[in-house]
């Protein structure tokens, strides 16, 4: 049997959390009676996630004979979990039983089962429908039950049973009726046999109340029914022992030595309901819960919800939920008072970490937020807020949830808290109090939504991520109370406003398209990972995975106007129609001449169009037959869209034109010319009434977005960036006539209101706001039709981001960045006095700036390839810059080139510095940590110490005192620090987690080494010294969303500057103190 790792999966999706058990069998060992030939894999996962796991498992299944099957069971105490399903190359049998086709599980499984890959593996049916029981089936099973119990019935009693079974041919009714009939006596004439399952369950509960005490039974069954997963026996015993009303009803005539529920009572009750409860593993603990949903429904109606017989049920349930919350908070660990005296009830302590601190208390992490969320209402928020703030808003609690794999669960319960805490009508002070507390919940919700994609993978950075929130925020204040115990570095120039990115969703390859559903309750995304995903737009939960064939890269997708159909286009020339509510593949439309680049539905639902090569193929959605094929473009069509009234169709192509078609006749009515590069996207403006003018926006790779009058063919607006000319790849109109345009890694927002009277020339407008956060080219943007300020974007960095434009302060969002170069900055160096800074770039230029005035002093030109590094000499008179094959030294005062050193070979230079006496140049190449050049004649000084080993250096840095050289060796995945005089290795840092792209020593003393990774991380290491024999980690943060290009220390203060898609300044003066 391949290795099976232990991991827990608990994911709550709405009202459903289902336990799945997979029987994993090694067929060869199973046939030879090898005890290691079988293992049970219990997955407590959501339907969608379970489907993905099944796919990973079945894709690895050999094509041998089918293994025996084992149905899922709930009472087996198995705790084997799969860590990486794809590594288990065994035959899998998975049997899932559920009612009808309700919910999304059957739809997802049927979609996967019907895929070509699976149908080739097995010829047998995947899904069997279990019909209702016949009367004969019921009678046979009832006879078997009586026989096993060694009982019999009189003819009258048997006739009574047959009539009842004929009216209710249900397995649960048969089980309940059988258990009731087994206790009948032969002389019983009045037989009480209820006519429904609900009545039988109520009768059972009533019998329990009469025999074992109403107060005790009510409380026990209420506690079981209101939990998320159930309660273990010890937990139930503890909770009941804290309920003084129950204990008072039990200890009426006797005072026990310590105040706790007698264990015998709970065991006796459990024996009475043993047939109707189940034991299952939840968060690593065996818990008790109802085995059938009908029992939970009846128990909640009888004990939890308000009804005529029990008008106080809701109040009692609230008290019970609070008791459960207090228990999992550990409030009564040291005792609970009774009549003014503290009584030690030997309650289990519910700490966040168990035992030696290595394991988290998963039961507390699951049940405590569930109970507090259920208790929260606008009326109770002011009372509950101290508890919520102390427990759920505790960053250590959130960190624990992330460590146990439930970061998305945190988003879910904060979302529920926000919905339940909306202020209602009341006094002004009450409303203000609710608003204040609700605002804090919203702040935590925004934080978790924004960071959940990172915290899921890096749970250790929860506190650091909170500390990077704006100063004065609740999160920053909470982090400041914890950072004194943690290693961290402070972000100094962090923004003063909240990040407008609500949350980030992930694909496993580049995202090619994204769009909101018509109701904006779902998000649709397509990717080169061969999937189309449907997401919940509120929580970010994945609803459906629409899998395509392995040869099909999905290039585009869209919703139908009613949101019930999804259409996707693929790279092999097919378009697929899916049921958006179930995930079923409805049909595949073949016959397109080439790759499908765009798809669009007409708002009146009469047609949809597919763009393939230079054609537009129009289809009938009712019959899925072709209506017509529109020709006119000279090359590949990249985009298409319908006008709001469905009368016009617009298309853009690589021939740089936009064409307008009449949908009824299919005739072209306008050809819009003006772009100088391929048209990447076109979109019509929203039309609210007949008096609103219709406009068409088109974006192009020429770096402009043009707004046209489509019927007249006139250009009205030209939208572009102020200084840059990035390619535009997508655009989208909001209902308020703002236009979002994807420009490389930025989203530009333009105000398209108040278009002036036509005068012949278009008005030029610039962006009013810029959204930054993606680390690669954005391929698609789309506004929500319901929420005017919400926007979604998909990029080649494999992510989708949902933005809230309300969080943009347009008055302060003006671009204040100093545009220093035309291409990304590759190196930054400060002079020793901190007055000047040199910047090098991929544009092959070296610039020197005056820091305080932000004034450009001089630009040094001469390199033929981009500059990798630059450095001032210690006295500030010289500056050196190194490219792949050339080192150049300039005199700063005279602006003259001192020397140019060219090096033949394939190994480029990485870093350089000038010696203290300005006599030599110290350089680092890709194959050597240290090379010396004479600055007078450029001759190379050979150092044999580095010739014995082959290096693959990706980043390098020379300390300011020239005593050390730090390099990153990608081959060995380690950081090396060399002594420049003895050439010995001073420090070696192994197992570096990310490929290093930048290095920097602290200054003036090189006691710390900072490294930046290609994944945007910044790590600070303390180097070996008199107090530490080995290098040690000081801090690790996710600093940027893309690769760190360069790092530099500012000499005046102990400040670190990191460059990626933005510049950030960090304080490392005292990493253990804020």
DSSP reduced 3-state for 113: helix
What pLDDT is attached to residue 484? 61
- Dist. CA 675–CA 489, nearest whole Å: 48
DSSP reduced 3-state for 22: strand
Q: Using CA of residue 891, residue 896, residue 899, residue 902, what is the dihedral sign?
A: positive
Whether residue 221 has pLDDT greater than 70: yes
Helix axes 395-403, 407-420, angle to 10 degrees: 130
**Helix ranges (DSSP H) in 635-777:** none
Of residues 847, 889, 839, 887, the one with CA closest to residue 864: 887
List strands edge to edge, sheet with 799-804.
501-506, 799-804, 790-795, 778-783
- Dist. CA 1036–CA 1071, nearest whole Å: 11
Q: Using CA of residue 103, residue 104, residue 105, residue 110, what is the dihedral sign?
A: positive
- Residue 162 pairs in a beta bridge with none
DSSP reduced 3-state for 692: coil
* DSSP assignment letter at 1054: T
Where does residue 182 fall: left (phi above 0), alpha (psi -120 to 50 degrees), or beta otherwise?
Answer: alpha
Residues 6+ apart with CB under 8 A from 402: 410, 455, 456, 459, 462
- Give the mean model confidence (pLDDT) for residues 142-162: 88
Helix (H) or strand (E) holding 93: strand 91-93
Q: Per-residue DSSP letters for 763-776?
A: EEE--SEEEE--SS
- Give the mean model confidence (pLDDT) for residues 604-613: 93
- Dist. CA 218–CA 205, nearest whole Å: 9
Q: Per-residue DSSP letters for 260-275?
A: ---HHHHHHHHHHTGG
Structure-token pair, residue 924: 């680092």
What pLDDT is attached to residue 661? 95
The model's pLDDT over 114-123, given as tens digits with 9 standing for 90+, comes to: 544 444 444 4
What pLDDT is attached to residue 47? 43
Whether residue 31 has pLDDT greater than 90: no
Looking from the CA of 874 toward its CB, the CA atoms found within 13 Å total 15
What pLDDT is attached to residue 1? 24
Looking at per-residue pLDDT, the higher value among 591 and 494 belongs to 591
Q: Please state, for a pLDDT cut of 70, what percent of the chain lies above it.
A: 81
Of residues 531, 534, 533, the one with CA closest to residue 548: 531
Q: Please state, for a pLDDT cut of 90, what percent of the chain lies above it.
A: 28
- Angle at the Cα of 328 from the Cα atoms of 76 and 437, rounded to 5 degrees: 130
Q: Per-residue DSSP letters for 146-161?
A: HHHHT----HHHHHHH
Whether residue 914 has pLDDT greater than 60: yes
- Confidence grade of residue 565 (pLDDT, cut at 50, 70, 90): very high
Rg (CA), the chain: 35
Whose tokens are 């200084």? That residue is 723
Q: How many residues does the chain have?
A: 1074
Residues 6+ apart with CB under 8 A from 255: none
List strands edge to edge, sheet with 769-772.
728-733, 738-743, 746-751, 769-772
What pLDDT is attached to residue 107? 55
What pLDDT is attached to residue 86? 37
Q: Per-residue DSSP letters for 850-918?
A: ETTTTEEEEEEE--SS-EEEEEE-TTSSEEEEEESSEEEEEETTT--EEEEEE--SS--EEEEEE-TTS
Whether residue 318 has pLDDT greater than 70: yes
Whether residue 586 contacts residue 579, with contact meaning beta carbons closer than 8 Å, is answered with yes
List strands edge to edge, sheet with 825-830.
825-830, 836-841, 845-850, 855-861
Q: Using CA of residue 265, residue 268, residue 274, residue 278, what is the dihedral sign?
A: positive
Looking at per-residue pLDDT, the higher value among 969 and 595 belongs to 595
**Distance between the two ends of the chain, CA-based, in angstroms?**
51
Whether residue 68 has pLDDT greater than 80: no
What pLDDT is attached to residue 363? 92
Which of 130-134, 690-694, 861-865 is the most confident on average? 861-865
DSSP reduced 3-state for 234: helix
Whether residue 78 has pLDDT greater than 70: no
Whose tokens are 């090619």? That residue is 512
Chain mean position to CA 1071: 29
Whether residue 123 contacts residue 66, with contact meaning beta carbons closer than 8 Å, is answered with no
- Dist. CA 532–CA 525, nearest whole Å: 6
What pLDDT is attached to residue 35? 40
The pLDDT mean for the chain works out to: 80
* DSSP assignment letter at 332: T
Range in 90-94, 380-384, 660-664, 1012-1016 with the lowest mean pLDDT: 90-94
Whether residue 25 has pLDDT greater than 50: no
Q: In Å, what is the CA distance from 82 to each residue of 21, 40, 227, 283, 703?
A: 11, 10, 27, 15, 49
Range in 252-256, 421-425, 664-668, 775-779 with the lowest mean pLDDT: 421-425
- Confidence grade of residue 321 (pLDDT, cut at 50, 70, 90): very high
Q: Using CA of residue 369, residue 372, residue 376, residue 381, what is the dihedral sign?
A: negative
What pLDDT is attached to residue 564? 92
The model's pLDDT over 231-287, given as tens digits with 9 standing for 90+, comes to: 999 999 999 999 888 888 888 877 777 888 888 899 999 988 988 998 888 888 889
- Dist. CA 423–CA 441, nearest whole Å: 13
What pLDDT is attached to residue 601? 94
- Dist. CA 613–CA 865, nearest whole Å: 38
The model's pLDDT over 777-819, given as tens digits with 9 standing for 90+, comes to: 999 999 998 888 899 999 998 999 999 888 775 434 444 456 6
- Give the mean model confidence (pLDDT) for residues 347-375: 88
Structure-token pair, residue 219: 């409380």
Chain mean position to CA 619: 36
What pLDDT is attached to residue 41? 39
Whether residue 7 has pLDDT greater than 50: no
* DSSP assignment letter at 392: T
- Dist. CA 732–CA 701, nearest whole Å: 16
What pLDDT is attached to residue 951? 66
Other Cβ atoms within 10 Å of 264 Cβ, number = 8
Whose tokens are 């959605």? That residue is 621
Which of 536-540, 655-659, 918-922, 1020-1024 is the most confident on average? 655-659
Tell me what percent of the chain is helix, strand and coil, each rounded to the nearest 5: 25, 30, 45
What pLDDT is attached to residue 356? 75
What pLDDT is attached to residue 611? 95
SS3 per residue for 572-600? CCCEEEEECCCCCEEEEECCCCCCEEEEE
Residues 6+ apart with CB under 8 A from 224: 230, 231, 236, 277, 288, 289, 290, 299
Pairing state between β 714-720 and 763-765:
parallel
The model's pLDDT over 553-563, given as tens digits with 9 standing for 90+, comes to: 899 999 999 99
- Confidence grade of residue 1028 (pLDDT, cut at 50, 70, 90): low
- Give the mean model confidence (pLDDT) for residues 846-850: 91
Whose tokens are 């309650």? That residue is 347
Looking from the CA of 949 toward its CB, the CA atoms found within 13 Å total 14
Whether residue 917 has pLDDT greater than 90: no
Of residues 806, 772, 765, the one with CA closest to residue 788: 806
- Give the mean model confidence (pLDDT) for residues 863-882: 88
Whether residue 651 contacts residue 669, with contact meaning beta carbons closer than 8 Å, is answered with no
Of residues 724, 852, 833, 734, the one with CA closest to residue 790: 734
Which of 306-315, 479-488, 845-854, 945-954 is the most confident on average? 845-854
Whether residue 427 has pLDDT greater than 80: no
Looking at per-residue pLDDT, the higher value among 464 and 298 belongs to 298
Looking from the CA of 802 toward its CB, the CA atoms found within 13 Å total 30
- Give the mean model confidence (pLDDT) for residues 1020-1049: 80
- Give the mean model confidence (pLDDT) for residues 864-881: 88
What pLDDT is attached to residue 430? 52
């Amino acid at each position: 049997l391949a290795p099976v790792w232990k991991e827990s999966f608990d994911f709550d999706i709405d009202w459903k959390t289902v336990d799945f058990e997979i029987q994993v069998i090694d067929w060869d060992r199973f046939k030879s009676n090898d005890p290691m030939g079988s293992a049970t894999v219990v997955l407590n996962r959501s339907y969608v996630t379970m489907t993905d796991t099944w796919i990973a498992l079945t894709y690895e299944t050999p094509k041998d004979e089918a293994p025996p099957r084992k149905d899922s069971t709930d009472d087996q105490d198995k705790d084997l979990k799969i860590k990486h399903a794809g590594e288990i190359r065994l035959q899998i049998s998975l049997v899932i039983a559920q009612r009808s086709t309700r919910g999304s599980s059957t739809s997802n499984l049927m979609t996967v089962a019907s895929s070509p890959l699976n149908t080739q593996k097995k010829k047998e049916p995947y899904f069997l429908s279990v019909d209702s029981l016949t009367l004969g089936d019921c009678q046979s099973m009832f006879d078997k039950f009586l026989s096993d119990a060694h009982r019999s019935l009189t003819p009258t009693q048997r006739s009574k049973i047959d009539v009842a079974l004929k009216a209710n041919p249900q397995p649960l009714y048969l089980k309940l009726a059988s258990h009731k009939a087994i206790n009948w006596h032969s002389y019983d004439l009045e037989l009480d046999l209820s006519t429904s399952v609900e009545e039988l369950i109520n009768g059972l509960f009533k019998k329990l109340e009469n025999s074992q005490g109403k107060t005790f039974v009510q409380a026990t069954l209420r506690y079981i029914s209101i939990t998320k997963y159930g309660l273990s026996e010890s937990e139930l015993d503890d909770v009941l022992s804290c309920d003084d009303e129950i204990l008072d009803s039990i200890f009426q005539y006797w005072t026990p030595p310590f105040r706790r529920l007698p264990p015998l009572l709970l065991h006796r009750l459990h024996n009475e309901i043993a047939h109707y409860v189940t034991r299952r593993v939840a968060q690593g603990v065996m818990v008790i819960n109802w085995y059938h949903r009908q029992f939970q429904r009846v128990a909640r109606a009888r004990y939890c919800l308000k009804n005529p017989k029990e008008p106080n049920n809701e109040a009692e349930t609230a008290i019970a939920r609070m008791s459960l919350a207090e228990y999992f908070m550990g409030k009564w660990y040291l005792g609970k008072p009774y009549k003014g005296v503290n009584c030690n009830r030997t309650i289990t302590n519910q700490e966040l970490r168990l035992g030696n601190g290595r394991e988290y208390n998963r039961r507390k992490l699951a049940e405590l937020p569930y109970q507090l969320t259920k208790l929260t209402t606008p009326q109770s928020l002011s009372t509950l807020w101290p508890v919520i703030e102390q427990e759920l808003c505790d960053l250590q609690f959130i960190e624990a949830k992330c460590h146990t794999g439930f970061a998305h669960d945190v988003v879910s319960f904060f979302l529920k808290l926000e919905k339940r805490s909306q202020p209602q009508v009341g006094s002004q002070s009450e409303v203000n109090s609710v608003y204040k507390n609700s605002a804090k919940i919203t702040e935590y919700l925004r934080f978790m939504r924004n960071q959940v994609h990172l915290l899921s993978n890096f749970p250790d950075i929860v506190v650091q991520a909170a500390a990077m929130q704006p100063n004065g925020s609740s999160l920053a204040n909470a982090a400041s109370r914890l950072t004194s115990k943690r290693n961290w570095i402070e972000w100094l120039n962090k923004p003063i406003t909240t990040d407008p990115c609500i949350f980030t969703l992930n694909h496993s390859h580049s995202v090619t398209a994204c769009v909101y559903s018509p109701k904006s309750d779902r998000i649709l995304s397509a990717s080169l990972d061969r999937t189309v995903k449907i997401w919940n737009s509120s929580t970010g939960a994945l609803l459906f995975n629409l899998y395509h064939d392995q040869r099909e890269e999905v290039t585009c997708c869209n919703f139908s106007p009613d949101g019930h159909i999804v259409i996707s286009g693929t790279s092999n020339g097919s378009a697929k129609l899916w049921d958006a509510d179930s995930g079923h593949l409805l049909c595949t439309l073949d016959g397109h001449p080439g790759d499908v680049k765009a798809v669009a539905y007409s708002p009146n639902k009469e047609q949809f169009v597919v763009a393939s090569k230079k054609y537009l193929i129009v289809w009938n959605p009712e019959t899925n037959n072709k209506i017509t094929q529109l020709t006119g473009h000279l090359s590949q069509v990249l985009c298409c869209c319908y006008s709001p009234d469905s009368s016009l169709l617009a298309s853009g192509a690589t021939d740089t034109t936009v064409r307008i078609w009449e949908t009824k006749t299919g005739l072209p009515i306008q050809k819009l010319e003006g772009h100088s590069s391929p048209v990447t996207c076109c979109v019509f403006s929203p039309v609210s009434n007949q008096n609103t003018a219709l406009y068409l926006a088109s974006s192009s790779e020429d770096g402009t977005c043009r707004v046209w009058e489509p019927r007249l063919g006139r250009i009205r607006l030209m939208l572009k960036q102020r200084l840059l000319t990035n390619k535009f790849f997508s655009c989208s109109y909001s209902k308020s006539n703002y236009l979002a345009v994807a420009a490389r890694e930025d989203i530009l927002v333009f105000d398209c209101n108040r278009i002036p009277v036509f005068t012949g020339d278009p008005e030029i407008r610039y962006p009013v706001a810029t959204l930054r956060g993606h680390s690669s080219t954005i391929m698609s943007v789309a506004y929500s039709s319901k929420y005017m300020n919400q926007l979604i974007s998909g990029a080649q960095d494999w992510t989708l981001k949902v933005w809230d434009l309300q969080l943009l302060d347009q008055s302060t969002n003006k671009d204040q960045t100093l545009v220093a170069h035309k291409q990304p900055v590759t190196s930054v160096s400060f002079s020793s006095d901190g007055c000047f800074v040199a910047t090098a770039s991929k544009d092959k230029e070296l610039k020197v700036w005056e820091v305080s005035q932000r004034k450009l002093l001089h630009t040094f030109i001469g390199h033929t390839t981009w500059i990798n590094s630059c450095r001032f000499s210690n006295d500030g008179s010289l500056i050196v810059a190194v490219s792949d094959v050339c080192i150049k030294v300039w005199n700063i005062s005279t602006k003259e080139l001192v020397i140019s050193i060219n090096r033949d070979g394939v190994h480029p230079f990485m870093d350089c510095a000038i010696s203290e006496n300005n006599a030599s140049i110290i350089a680092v190449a890709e194959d050597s940590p240290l090379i010396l050049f004479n600055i007078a004649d450029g001759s190379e000084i050979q150092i044999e110490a580095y010739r014995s080993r082959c290096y693959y250096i990706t980043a390098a840095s020379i300390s300011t005192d020239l005593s050390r050289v730090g390099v990153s060796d990608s081959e060995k995945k380690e950081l090396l620090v060399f002594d420049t005089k003895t050439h010995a290795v001073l420090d070696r840092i192994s197992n570096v987690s990310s490929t290093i792209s930048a290095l920097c020593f602290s200054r003036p003393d090189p006691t710390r080494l900072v490294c930046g990774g290609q994944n945007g991380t910044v790590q600070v290491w303390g180097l070996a010294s008199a107090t530490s024999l080995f290098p040690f980690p000081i801090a690790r943060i996710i600093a940027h969303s893309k690769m760190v290009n360069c790092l530099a220390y500012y000499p005046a203060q102990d400040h670190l500057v990191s460059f990626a898609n933005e510049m950030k300044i960090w304080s490392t003066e005292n990493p253990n103190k804020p």
